[in-house]
A and B are shown apart, each in its own frame.
Chain A
Amino acid sequence: MKEPGTFGWSNPLVRWSVLGLVALSIVSMLVGFLWLPSVQGDYAAQGLWASICRAAGVPGDWSRGAKARQAPTATNVVLERSMANEGANDAIGRGATLALNCTMCHGAQGMSLSNAPNLAGQYPEVVIKQLRDYQSGKRSSAIMQALTAKLSDRDISDLAAYYAYLPKARTAPTTYDESLPVLVRVGAPLRNVAPCVSCHGGIDQKLGAPWIEGMPKDYIVQQLKAFRSGTRRNDGEAQMRNVARSMTDAEIADVASFYARKAP
């Protein structure tokens, strides 16, 4: 007698394998989609169909009916990769003209002689974000809020293009060894302090994180303290507030001196 083929239903091995698999699938689905959700209060609250949908992973509208309270947002700026693009020549030129307004504090070539931040070589998305935050009041400064109030979006992106075009301020060459402050190099894992170099250049340069090499020491100290106390709060995910929160005055001074030191 010829044995029925691989897909023959009369072949008992085939029959039982298929039936067994179907039964296993159905039973596990019944348990996973009906039984287990039924004993969980938050799954079962809106009825059977809703609980099946939740178990299947359909996104639910949790706050239907009730008005969700709007949490305070740190910034209205959504960082997009396109903001980091190099500016066209005319944008840079126009930005250079506009930047004449900024020279009093930020220096003729974007290198500050006072304790205002250097802007030379700053990443364009950083300048865009900070100017927009001043405009919206998410970052406060009596001077900057007044100066940015009338800037158009084009003004802002041209200014960013101009400053990005200038050569960056540099400090003395750095090697990754024990001479770097600990917080710069490896952070403090158990205090949830990420190393500076993982966002501000060195290991990685994250979108929206400023170039801080060569910044005036007083400016860095002032900003870290502002993040620590929460008076500055325009970091989108509270990343700098979380880092600065557990830093001591000595650590802030240490990190700031490192980034501010001048090339010999």
Chain B
Amino acid sequence: MFQAKRLVLAHFWVAFIAFFGALVLGAWQMYVRSPLSTWVQNPEHYYRSVTAHGTVMAYVLPTLVAMGFGYAITELALKKPLIGVKWAWAGFWLVIGGTLMAAATMALGKASVLYTFYPPMLASPFYYFGVVLVVVGSWIWVALMSINLRAWKKEHPGESVPLAMYGNVAGAYLWAWTSLGAAIEVLVLILPASLGLTDTINAGLARVFFSWTLHAIVYFWLMPTYIVFYTIVPRAIGGRLYSDTMGRVAFALFLVFSMPIGIHHLFADPQVGAGFKFVHAVMTAMVSIPTFLTVFTIVASAEIAARLRGGTGAFGWVKALPWSNPWMLALTFSFIMLGFGGAGGLINMSYQLNETIHNTQWVTGHFHLIFAGAIVIMYFMAAYELWPQLTGCAPISPRLIKAQAWLWFIGMMVLTLPWHLVGLLGMPRRMAYYDYSNPELAPQAWTVTMSAIGGFILLASGALLIYTLATASRRRAPAVEPFTFSRAAHPGGRTPVALNGLGLWVAMMIALTLVNYGYPIAQLASLKEASVPVIPIGSR
């Protein structure tokens, strides 16, 4: 790498330290509502903690990882120094400033509104300013990714954009467009009310705007993981990427279909018409296509690795996979969690099935499996892989990596499978306590204990991550091997022009958003009766 080493390192460190703090809160939350502890004496403390956990895990961690990883990819894939390093630092400090501002407000109990904001509840304006700063800082990253790609294309006319950079910029554009919904919600609806300029808020419209961000943000979190799947995993397990084009198709399809589908979060909201709910459900189903394409391509890439190692037969090659390689382990864990979480997701997105599990612990289980499981485990792996490049340390001990990945996988399964079960039985989410003395709830008490145990296993895994990264530089490498991305099975193939740029897909993303969101937004915005009195939190 050239000049982004400290920059990338700073992003990863802040991300993981904030992550560890939020992990402590998460484990505490599970403990206090389990039968292991008495009821939390002040439920507001619980919601304060949930708000901080969600804000860090949903905004701070993935944004910083995507930014840091994006800067690293820019230098490693384009093989040239990052343009705009000073701007990148400015973006970083904006994110830090925003995080601290939001954290202080949350700690004071002035912002216990959960990270999804939930108007008409209102937090102190400083909480929203903090979140806005985080997002604005990330917009600088979006601009830099675009500028760097353009500069590279100018210098390399007609050449294929490296796949890692293609996915990286796709993720940046996706984030730019998807963060707009929450940005409009905060700037136009929430902040005027939070600052006391109005005392009513159009809560239905605010929820629709948030849904604009709420689902696609998941794919922004996912992008770094998919980039790792396509461009690092095949090389790390000793194989080839089965198809470079398939990767581009998957990134392009995510761009188009991840965005205009958020109303499936509002299936129980009366202010949105059933027709739009159905259309959004259909588009949500379309997201399974790039997901399946990816699973197919990566499994095929693993098969190449196995056959290169002498594996034979229709399924016999599975035995020849490099099972002692931490990457193989992490990939397997990630796919198992993606499989369970994805199957649960199909239920969430189905208009009718959703009724059964709407707002239950099932939902919490689902997004923890997908995001905190399948996605975040690859954030760890990306950090392990980049660490020697960033710090000049020797490659990180495979034993430590495997121990951490095992703990994370087991912890996540023990945490989330009981949630799925009790979600089906109807246990609501976001409860500060449950009355286990009631004979109807008593039989479910053990599941919450299980989840609390899972939470502590995850905490141990998080501690091991921090320990591993912090102590890595004790072992210096005599020479750091240059970083490589995975090579395609058929290198040098021609890349279709539409898949070498993002213009078409961004245009389709915007057009589809207008079709799917235009009318609901216009209609709700024009409804005078839709405004409700605000409920400031912690104001007295």
Contacts and interface: CB of A to CB of B under 8 A. Distances in A.
Binding partners A and B: yes
Interface of A: 3-7, 11, 13-14, 17-18, 21, 24-25, 28-29, 31-33, 36-37, 52, 54-59, 79-82, 176-178, 185-186, 188-190, 195, 198, 201, 203-207
A212 to B, nearest CB: 14
A203 B43 contact: yes
Contacts of A186: 39, 43, 433
Contacts of B496: 3, 13
Contact of B534 (A18, A56, A81, A198): A81
Contacts of B320: none
Contacts of A21: 256, 508, 512
Given A57-B276, A177-B41, A201 B497 contact: no
Given A32-B279, A56-B275, 14 more contacts: A7-B504, A21-B508, A21-B512, A28-B278, A31-B278, A55-B275, A57-B274, A80-B533, A82-B199, A188-B435, A190-B435, A190-B438, A198-B43, A205-B540
B523 A57 contact: yes
Contacts of A52: 275
B398 interface: no
B343 interface: no
B390 interface: no
Nearest to A18: B508
Interface string B513-540: 0010001100100010100011101111
Interface string B434-459: 11001011000000000000000000
A17 B505 CA distance: 9
Interface string B94-113: 00000000000000000000
B288 interface: no
B42 A176 contact: yes
Contacts of B537: 204
Interface string B256-284: 10000000000000011111111100110
Contacts, number: 121
Nearest to B204: A57
Contacts of A13: 496, 498-499
Contacts of B38: 178
9 contacts: A14-B504, A17-B508, A25-B279, A31-B278, A55-B275, A57-B271, A188-B435, A203-B44, A204-B537
Contacts of B508: 17-18, 21
Contacts of B431: 189
Contacts of A17: 498, 504, 508
A6 B43 contact: no
B501 interface: yes
B527 A28 contact: no
B503 interface: yes
A5 B497 contact: yes
A32 B276 contact: yes
Contacts of A177: 41
Q: Which among B42, B499, B520, B523 has the greatest number of chain A C-beta atoms within 10 A?
A: B42
A190 B440 CA distance: 10
Given A5-B497, A17-B508, A24 B282 contact: yes
A14 to B, nearest CB: 5
B41 A176 contact: yes
B180 interface: no
Contacts of A25: 279, 512, 515
Contacts of A207: 533, 535
Contacts of B276: 32, 55-57
Contacts of A178: 38, 41
Contact of B274 (A3, A24, A54, A176): A54
Contacts of B256: 21
B27 interface: no
Give 3 nearest A-B pairs by CB, closest first. Answer: A57-B273, A55-B275, A32-B278
B319 to A, nearest CB: 39
Given A24-B286, A82-B199, A176-B42, A6 B435 contact: no
Contact of B434 (A29, A189, A201): A189
Contacts of B515: 25
Contacts of B42: 176, 203
Given A32-B278, A80-B533, A186-B39, A204 B538 contact: yes
A178 B277 CA distance: 46
A6 B498 contact: yes
Contacts of B271: 57
Nearest to B440: A190
A59 B527 contact: yes
A204 B433 CA distance: 17
Residue in A54, A81, A178, A188 whose Cβ sees the most chain B Cβ within 10 Å: A81
A80 B501 contact: no
B215 to A, nearest CB: 17
Nearest to A29: B279
A185 B274 contact: no
A189 B39 CA distance: 12
Contacts of A55: 273-276, 278
B519 A56 contact: yes
A81 B199 contact: yes
A14 B199 contact: no
B274 A32 contact: yes
Interface in B35-55: 38-39, 41-44
A6 B523 contact: no
